[in-house]
Structure 1
Amino acid sequence: MTQISEIDARSRSIFKTLVETYLETGEPVGSRTLSRREGVDVSPATIRNVMADLTELGLLEAPHTSAGRLPTERGLRLFVDGMLEVGEPTPEERAVLEKQAADGDAQGVLDSAADKLSGLTRMASLVMASNSDRPLKHLEFIRLDDTRALAVIVDAAGDVENRLIELPPGMPATSLIEAANYLNAQLSGRTLKEAREHVLQEIEQRRTQLDDLTAELAKRGIVELSNLPERGGRQLIVRGQSNLLAGAQDDLERVQQLFDELERKEGLIDLLEAAREGEGVRIFIGAENRLFSLSGSSVVAAPYRDSDRNIIGVLGVVGPTRLNYGRVIPLVDYTADLVSRMIR
């Protein structure tokens, strides 16, 4: 792949100005238009020669209907990685993002973040969270036979998770009821992670009124439930798909393709999982991600964390490759930091 160091200073300047102009207008950029831009002090003929060289390098392409050029996905990647000037959210944008359910639960914070981010960027927003991070509402054990029971847990959003657990030998029916009652008293308002730490500590320090068999069941139940598979425990929030229609009258086929891609929940979760691997904002441009290879869309995403700095989810936006990266990146970054602070 072409590196910035392989392009001379004049070509870099012209390329940078061309990409910025394209991101502003959405139209192919011609040499005459570039020659009129501030900071460009070379002739249209020189610009045409540079544009031809950049096209040969695979950084620009020429639509059939225009003499102008626009950046390829490779060119956009080069621009984003080495030439993009990223600003800060404005005070007004910060105020909008901070006007969230500060005193509400984690679910309310995530829903609000998705709505605000979509509104500010005029793109579709994506938020991936673990269902195990939701506050819990109710748990019960249903005996299947002498050695097994089904643990059923309901979270604050009404979603249900089931888990098969092994029963301690000789477990009487009353112990299932007592263990469930004890756990329900401890779980209320806590996440699975919080509940596990609290319950295990209480049992270890013998601060409960449970007999040994019932305590063992409560211990097994909370451990098994907190080890629910990652795939089954993912919640995906998508907001603002209608924003993608704005200004897309000439490219409705691409937008429809993007809508179809957004319906593939598993693919979206895989994409956002990839964003968990980085420390900060991750940017996926067009065919760099298999999910959006057909619509040619970009995703800007960043992870958010719990009080122990563990990554517990990812949020971001998706839109055309011609999005305002310099504005969107800091908005996504600030929202991820804000959510991390609000759900701790």
Structure 2
Amino acid sequence: MSAPFPTFSLSDLDSRARHIFRDIVENYLETGLPVGSRTLALSGGRSLSPATIRNTMAELSRFGLLASPHVSAGRVPTQAGLRLFVDGLLEIGDLGGAERQRLEARLAGAEQSSDQFLEQASGMLAGLAGGAGLVLSPSSAPQSPPLRHVEFVALDDGQALVVLVYTDGRIENRLMPRPEGLLPASLERAGNFLSTRLKGRRLEEARADILEEMENGQAQIDAAAEGLIKQGLAEWSGSEEATDNKRALIVRGRAQLLDNLEAQTDLERIRLLFEDLERKEELIALLDRTEEADGVKIFIGTENPLFSLSGSSLVIAPYRDAAQNILGAVGVIGPTRLNYARVIPMVDYTAQLVGRRLGPNAR
């Protein structure tokens, strides 16, 4: 995942700084409060003086990993610090057998409909993780198989023939209007561009990445070819309205986000997060992109523009059927001081449970 933070690695920290940094982040995630040098000196068990710890904390602050919310207050991890901690220092264990059984029992009930089951999964995650639970339901339309090749052929009547070759051997031909003045070379470039990016992937899961690449000016194709690709993706993948009608977003546990607020600034952040949760189309697009993840995916604060104002974290995982086709996603959204060590394996196992239940009947 790309992050908007300066490049920094644990190798840039010596052993003492790494240990102090870990203690600060773990203390903050547990309490939500700034951590002072005296607190670490008393609880860290490292025989370091408060002055030594203060010097190290100042160094970590210069690196952009810690910040002081108030004058003479302790330190809290920045978003860059949280990302470094999650990627390099967080110890995540498997759920114990007893906890797995509790999750399975919470989602038991063969008499439930799929909708009721998903509602229960979302509510369960909210109750156990201290954030809001999110579940993206399976699409009501069958997914197309992955693609092998895309080719555009110019026709005489102002149209272009699009040849879509799928990995299962199926070939699909579609007609679409050909922009005026479009040269054969542009058709070839458009076909090569799409073939490279779609090979082995479904249209539905690659569409957002392709559009983002073109919007960022990274596609290195001419405007005519870009226009043809955008037109094709809109027609082949279906409109945004049609996609939204096929997928439901279930959000439960908003009240969990109001518990244990530390300050008025927290209340404002939660208000902004509530606004984010109402932006259904953007949330669905974000969750759909987890289809490219092998497992749990984590967004911290401004790593995704949707949460840039509320400063929230999202822990999300796709759920799959028996053939490993991705059906939807489950996750938790909440403050950046989520208990990541607990939430990550919980989201991962819940995704497995949802996949087992819905996999045989999702299509």
Fold equivalence (TM over 0.5): yes
2-structure distance, mates of 1:255, 1:93: 29
Tell me if the contact between 1:97 and 1:117 (Cα under 8 Å) persists in the aligned partners.
no
1-structure distance, mates of 2:65, 2:332: 25
Q: Which amino acid aligns with 1:244?
A: L
Q: How far did residue 65 of structure 1 move?
A: 4.3
Q: Secondary structure at the match of 1:45?
A: helix
Match of 2:13 among 7, 12, 15: 7
Partner of 1:71: 77
Structure 1: give runs of 5+ residues left out of the alignment: 135-225
2-structure distance, mates of 1:272, 1:102: 26
Structure 2: give runs of 5+ residues left out of the alignment: 1-6, 143-236
Q: Percent identity?
A: 55
Match of 2:93 among 87, 91, 113: 87
Q: Which amino acid aligns with 2:336?
A: T
Partner of 2:331: 316
Match of 1:234 among 247, 268, 292: 247
Q: How far did residue 80 of structure 1 move?
A: 0.1
2-structure distance, mates of 1:102, 1:339: 13
Q: Which amino acid aligns with 1:247?
A: N
Q: Which amino acid aligns with 2:84?
A: L
Partner of 2:354: 339
Tell me if the contact between 1:101 and 1:108 (Cα under 8 Å) persists in the aligned partners.
no
Q: Secondary structure at the match of 1:58?
A: coil
Q: Secondary structure at the match of 1:280?
A: coil
Q: How far did residue 46 of structure 1 move?
A: 1.0
Q: Secondary structure at the match of 1:94?
A: helix
1-structure distance, mates of 2:141, 2:96: 31
Tell me if the contact between 1:286 and 1:292 (Cα under 8 Å) persists in the aligned partners.
yes
Q: 1:268 to 1:91 in 2, by over 3 A?
A: same
Match of 2:23 among 1, 17, 32: 17
Q: What number of residue pairs does the alignment pair up?
A: 253
Q: How far did residue 249 of structure 1 move?
A: 5.4
Match of 1:110 among 106, 118, 122: 118
Q: Which of 61-70 and 323-332 deviates more?
A: 61-70
Residue correspondence of structure 1 range 53-202 to structure 2 within 5 A:
53-99=59-105, 100-103=107-110, 104-132=112-140
Q: How far did residue 95 of structure 1 move?
A: 3.1
Partner of 1:243: 256
1-structure distance, mates of 2:134, 2:350: 12
Q: 1:276 to 1:321 in 2, by over 3 A?
A: same
Partner of 2:162: none
Q: How far did residue 315 of structure 1 move?
A: 0.6
2-structure distance, mates of 1:60, 1:324: 18
Partner of 2:279: 264
Q: Which amino acid aligns with 1:116?
A: M
Q: Secondary structure at the match of 1:238?
A: strand
Tell me if the contact between 2:131 and 2:257 (Cα under 8 Å) persists in the aligned partners.
yes
State the TM-score, normalizing by the size of structure 2: 0.66
1:279-326 deviation per Cα after TM superposition (whole angstroms, max 9, x unaligned) = 000010001011111011000000000121111101100000011100
Q: How far did residue 54 of structure 1 move?
A: 0.7
Tell me if the contact between 1:283 and 1:301 (Cα under 8 Å) persists in the aligned partners.
yes
2-structure distance, mates of 1:275, 1:227: 19
Partner of 1:199: none
Q: Secondary structure at the match of 2:19?
A: helix
Q: Which of 36-45 and 226-235 deviates more?
A: 226-235
Residue correspondence of structure 1 range 38-57 to structure 2 within 5 A:
38-57=44-63
Q: How far did residue 40 of structure 1 move?
A: 2.4
State the TM-score, normalizing by the size of structure 1: 0.69
1-structure distance, mates of 2:253, 2:357: 23
Tell me if the contact between 2:244 and 2:281 (Cα under 8 Å) persists in the aligned partners.
no
Partner of 1:153: none
Tell me if the contact between 1:114 and 1:238 (Cα under 8 Å) persists in the aligned partners.
yes
Q: Which of 102-111 and 309-318 deviates more?
A: 102-111
1:85-142 deviation per Cα after TM superposition (whole angstroms, max 9, x unaligned) = 11333445423321224424432322221111111112100011234179xxxxxxxx
Q: Secondary structure at the match of 1:317?
A: strand
CA RMSD of aligned residues (A): 2.0
Q: Secondary structure at the match of 1:11?
A: helix
Tell me if the contact between 1:303 and 1:312 (Cα under 8 Å) persists in the aligned partners.
yes
Tell me if the contact between 2:315 and 2:344 (Cα under 8 Å) persists in the aligned partners.
yes
Q: Secondary structure at the match of 1:13?
A: helix
Q: Secondary structure at the match of 1:315?
A: strand
Answer yes or no: is 1:298 the counterpart of 2:313. yes
Bigger radius of gyration among the two: 1
